[in-house]
Structure 1
Amino acid sequence: MGIGNDMPPGTPILAIVRWAALLWLLAWLPLYIWAWGWQNMLHICDVGVTVACLGLWFRQPLLISSQALLAPLAGVLWGLDVFWRMFTGHHLLGGTEYMWDTHYPLWIRLLSSFHLVLPFVLLWAIRMLGYDRRALALQTAIVAAVLIPSRFLSPQLNMNYAFQDPLLHRAWGPAPVHLAVILAGCVAIFFWPTHLVLMHAFPRPGRTE
């Protein structure tokens, strides 16, 4: 069975979304690297949008489902921090300070608005294609693979919280221990609960109507 054979009949909008995802990736990826540098692509959210676009292009429920574990919460937190900053002048959670960095053109900063759109696209896609139950294992592996090189970047960047956690702003022991704590926190607090919700809300691939 070839790639894309599990596309439900009568859903031509999937073809539009597929091409939109490809065009977005081809435009967004080089622009982001040009503006922010290659190391920025180690951000879990940026890895996520890349994997999600590939999943949409190849119509692969596993790739789409894995990023559906991350995108909704990331979108809510990103949007909350941005709008809080807009209305109060202060960041509620942090992590979106770059949106007010005038060293970069506004249109480059606005590319990060994918955080608000991607969750809806992914939830719609798994409604059409099904939710793959292997998503939790894949997303855990992706985050683990991203955390390791993040530790080799500057501690000032604190990429993916590889040096300090986002709540207490502290390190949890030597590098292997700290990274294990961050990974376990992602799974226990974010991915696992979302996995349970999606597993009950959406059918398996191949069982969509």
Structure 2
Amino acid sequence: MTAKRPAFPVARWIALGWLLVWAPPYAMWWGWRNFFQLCDVAVILTAAGLWFGSARLLSAQAVGVIVVDILWFLDVAARLTIDRHPIGGTEYMFDSRFPLWVRLISLFHVAWPLLLLWALRRTGYDSRGWRLQSGIAGLMFGISWLIAGGRNVNFVLEAPIVGKALGPAPVHLAVSWAVLTLAVYWPTHAVLVRTLPAIPPPSPERA
């Protein structure tokens, strides 16, 4: 039997190269806790999805980052145009304590939704992705709260926009997770399942 050709023979190596370029400066300047940010988890899992040709992983990350990355871009744009962060979470992009080149690496947020949509055009959209991403988000919320060390990783201490906790920690985490999964992930899933090709059915097993 011949080996199955990778779904992304070139992109998988580009993704691996990006991880090698992206991870070291992020670890050095932002610290290891930053890798539990859902956007950064998405970088790692997208690379894995491209490497293994996993429609489920890629679908989960599309559900997880398309809207979030659009909001990230809008928050940066608002800071540049009206000198405000209406959403929050991008203040670090304008923090001169960090080298400009390190901050500019975060512009991957602009390209990531396009990359995922391109990849899913090839693999098809796996409707199980939104449930997987909801589970990943819940896990990352719990880990982020445990390791927060005073940092608002994944907004586990203060919610975006309102800039404060939504109640005691268990309430804040539960409400944050519910809003993310029901108001962001589910609508994104509903759009993707209607606009992208579905994953092809499994081929019959050969004797």
TM-score w.r.t. length of structure 1: 0.88
What is the alpha-carbon distance in structure 1 between the residues aligned to residue 3 and residue 177 of structure 2? 31
Partners in 2 of 1:143 and 1:125 — Cα distance? 22
Q: Which residue of 2 aligns with 1:30?
A: 24
Q: How far has the Cα of 1:31 moved from its partner? A: 1.8
**Structure 1 counterpart of 2:127, from 133, 142, 148:** 133
Q: Would the aligned equivalents of 1:75 and 1:115 in 2 still touch at CA under 8 Å?
A: yes
User: TM (normalized to structure 2)?
Assistant: 0.89
Which of 172, 186, 189 pairs up with 1:195?
189
Counterpart check, 1:143 vs 2:137: yes
Structure 1 vs Structure 2 CA RMSD = 2.1
Residue of structure 2 equivalent to 1:204: 198
Alignment counterpart, residue 82 of structure 2, candidates 83, 88, 97: 88
Q: CA–CA distance in 2 between the matches of 1:84 and 1:164?
A: 20
AA paired with 1:101? D
Letter in 2 for 1:166: P
Deviation at 1:6, TM superposition (A): 7.5
Residue-pair matches, total: 201
Aligned to 2:103: 109
Q: Identity across aligned pairs (percent)? A: 42
1:128-152: CA deviation from partner (whole Å, max 9, x where unpaired)? 1000111011101101110012112
Secondary structure of 1:197 counterpart: helix
Deviation at 1:2, TM superposition (A): 10
Cα displacement string for residues 124-178 of structure 1 (whole angstroms, at most 9, x for unaligned residues): 1111100011101110110111001211244742211212222333433332222
Distance in 2 of aligned mates of 1:4 and 1:98: 43
CA contact (8 A) 2:86 2:161 kept: no
Return the alpha-carbon distance in structure 2 between the equivalents of residues 161 and 2 of structure 1.
48
CA separation in 2, counterparts of 1:3 and 1:159? Answer: 42
Rounded Cα–Cα distance in structure 2 between residues aligned with 1:17 and 1:4: 16
2:113 match: secondary structure: helix
How many Å separate the matches in 1 of 2:103 and 2:177? 28
Distance 1:171 1:6 in 2: 45
Structure 1, unaligned runs of 5 or more: 8-13
Query: Which sections of structure 2, spanning at least 5 residues, go unmatched?
Result: 202-207
